[in-house]
Structure 1
Amino acid sequence: MGPFLEILIGGLMAGMLYALIALGFVLIFKASGVFNFAQGAMVLFAALAMARFSEWIGRYAGLQDKLLINVLAFAAAMVLMVVLAWAVQRLVLSRLVNQEGITLLMATLGITHFLDGFGQTLFGSAIYKIDVGMPKDPLFLLEQSIPGGVLVSQEDLIAALVAAALVGVLALFFQYTATGRALRAVADDHQAAQSIGIPLGRIWIIVWSVAGFVALVAGIIWGSKLGVQFSLSLVALKALPVVILGGLTSVPGAIIGGLLIGMGEKLSEAYIGPLLGGGIEIWFAYALALLCLLVRPQGLFGEKIIDRV
């Protein structure tokens, strides 16, 4: 029972991080109808900004307090992500209103390659470290009930709790605030939303800024675990199967899809992997997403599209 619980809890914690990144996809798609292929690049860019700003502030400002350095670096990185959101809206999206979906997708692909190159030019291409003080030592839980207890990583546990809290706050914001309702109205019909006075440009800046904030938090968490390197954007793209499984228009779907994929890939790697030679964790999420597309193309919680002719 102990090993099973360890694998299950590890999968749930990884799934919460997937859900956090997937939420960035869902927010932008709901507000603008754009499948933001650049979300992985945004995670990498934000993590690079956090790592390098921390290093530069500590070196040039002469500060020794690690907490203060991290707070200042986070604020600077967040400002940079808001500026990026403004630039995306003014230079790209404002010129592509009501264009075909494939046009918007290609635009986000262009943003992806720009961020990869610009991030490398601005921050360098080495492997950087983010240290936000999360404990690395493991915890042993349920020692009284299970012999040997259940081994849980404190770093993964804290990261999962932070991700869960952020996902919950954003879900409430999207559902119950005036700005959230405006975001949903823009998602339903750009022209109709504009006709009743909703400022499309401002809404898009807000939603891309929120997605940038989500990318920054996700980048800090993954950067702290794996180091900030250019393969981080590939890790972030693991959220693609999550949004396919949960549904591109569903915030709860992103959460549940992330948890299902996190648990599934860990359990399959542990119990089926030895029979097939391992490596299941690499492709499990994509195979599950493909199966979902064959059975329910809109995802488990996505809105079914009905075309009237």
Structure 2
Amino acid sequence: MQFFFEVLIGGLLSGVMYSLVAIGFVLIYKASGVFNFAQGAMVLFAALTFVSILAKGVPFWLALLLTLAVMVMLGLAIERVVLRKLVNQPPISLFMATIGLSFFLEGFGQALWGTEVHGLDLGITDEPVGWLLDDYNLSISKFDLFAAGTAGVLVTALALFFNRTRIGRALRAVADDHQAALSIGIPLQHVWAIVWSVAGLVALVAGLLWGSRLGVQFALTLVVLKALPVLILGGFESIPGAIVGGLIVGAGEKLAEVYIGPFIGGGIENWFPYVLALAFLLVRPEGLFGERHIERV
């Protein structure tokens, strides 16, 4: 039972980091109905920018602020140059535009900062937290706790921001009906600009956490693929859904790898979340927190 809880807690902590990536998708989708396939490239671009500034001898906190400024400007530029030009276009056109944007950001970031793998040390060692769990004989990584705590604080702050503030209410109005929001004086383009800026912030935090774990490299863009099952389980328009979906995916893949993997040769952790999401689509395609859409024809 002790080993089961170690695996479960480790999976839940990883799931919080998946939720962080998924929230970047949720914010953009709620505000504009666009599935931002470039979110992974934004994560890579943020991590590359940070380590490159840090390598020039800039202090950690100043490098963090400079990278945040870069990501906010990037989000604003994407909204103005890409999204604003494609208003009222078919959703597939917007989706294809974000795919093109993804390849552009990957290439542009590597052209600026290089293609080699960069190490990223946040000062948090990946070792067991003894003082906290010795009494229970559990071994939990200090880095996992730090990453999950950081992601949890950001997720909570975003949830409060979009649920308790005037901007958050405007976002919900825009998400429900663009035309109705415009008719009552909500500046649609301003809301989109704010949301894309926040998506840049989320990409920065995700890039630092995942870059510290995996190294700052092209593979960071693939992390967003794990966000797809999270979105399917939680719903594409729900921040709480992204959190719950991330916890389910994180815990599910770890437990499946340990308890099912040995019977089928291992490697199940890489594809189990997608099988789980596929099975979930057959039962509740709109997700746990998504709204049912009934179309009459």
TM-score (norm 1): 0.93
Counterpart position of 2:75 = 85
How do 1:167-246 residues align onto structure 2 when only pairs under 5 Å count?
Answer: 167-246=155-234
Contact 1:15/1:259 (<8 A) preserved: yes
Counterpart position of 1:286 = 274
Post-superposition offset of 1:134: 1.4
Which is worse superposed, 76-85 or 10-19? 76-85
2:31 paired with 1:31: yes
Contact 1:98/1:190 (<8 A) preserved: no
Q: Using the alignment, how far apart are the partners of 1:106 and 1:50 within structure 2?
A: 28
> Percent of pairs identical after alignment?
61
2:135 paired with 1:144: yes
Q: Using the alignment, how far apart are the partners of 1:53 and 1:195 within structure 2?
A: 44
SS state of the match for residue 204, structure 2? helix
Contact 2:16/2:148 (<8 A) preserved: yes
Letter in 2 for 1:272: I
SS state of the match for residue 271, structure 2? helix
The gaps in structure 2 that reach 5 residues or longer are none
Q: Using the alignment, how far apart are the partners of 1:306 and 1:52 within structure 2?
A: 49
Find the partner of 2:61 among 45, 65, 71: 71
Q: Using the alignment, how far apart are the partners of 2:44 and 2:266 within structure 1?
A: 28
Post-superposition offset of 1:307: 2.1
Q: Using the alignment, how far apart are the partners of 1:184 and 1:33 within structure 2?
A: 12
Q: Using the alignment, how far apart are the partners of 2:66 and 2:165 within structure 1?
A: 27
Post-superposition offset of 1:143: 3.1
Paired residues in the alignment total 296
2:97 paired with 1:107: yes
Contact 1:50/1:130 (<8 A) preserved: no
Contact 1:242/1:257 (<8 A) preserved: yes
Post-superposition offset of 1:11: 0.1
Stretches (4+) displaced over 6 A? none
Letter in 1 for 2:91: G
Q: Using the alignment, how far apart are the partners of 1:214 and 1:157 within structure 2?
A: 18
Q: Using the alignment, how far apart are the partners of 1:143 and 1:116 within structure 2?
A: 44
Letter in 2 for 1:85: G
Post-superposition offset of 1:97: 1.2
TM-score (norm 2): 0.97
Counterpart position of 1:65 = none
Letter in 1 for 2:199: A
